[in-house]
Amino acid sequence: MDISPKKELLRFLSEDIQRGDITSALLSNQKIKAKIISRQQGIVAGIRFAKNIFQLKGCTVRIFTKDGSRLKANQTVLQVSGNTKSVLSCERTVLNLVSRMSGIATQTNYLVSQIKKYSKKTNLYSTRKTAPGLRYFDKEAVIIGGGHKHRMALDDMIMIKDNHLLLSNSMEDIIKKARKKHKQVEVEVENQRDAVLAAKYGATIVMLDNFSPVQIKKTIIALQKKKLRNKVKLEASGGINFKNISAYAKTGVDMISVGSITNSVKGLDLSLEVYPQPKK
For the annotated catalytic residues, the residue numbers are 92, 129, 161, 190, 209
Phi, psi of 78 (to 5 degrees): -155, 165
> Measured between alpha carbons, how far is 130 from 140 in angstroms, rounded to an integer?
12
Beta bridge partners of 209: 237
Give the separation between CA 78 and CA 180, rounded to whole angstroms: 51
Greatest CA separation for the chain: 80
The C-alpha atoms of residue 142 and residue 145 are separated, in whole angstroms, by 5
Is the Cβ–Cβ distance between 115 and 147 less than 8 Å? no
In degrees, rounded to 5, the angle at the alpha carbon of residue 236 between the alpha carbons of residues 233 and 239 is 170
Angstrom distance (rounded) from CA 258 to CA 20:
39
Determine the Cα–Cα distance for residues 76 and 81; give it in Å rounded to an integer: 14
Contact between 86 and 57 under an 8 Å Cβ cutoff? The reply is yes
Strand locations in the chain, DSSP E? 31-38, 42-43, 60-63, 70-71, 75-83, 123-125, 158-160, 185-189, 205-209, 233-237, 255-257, 270-276
Q: Please give the single-letter amino acid code of residue 272.
A: L
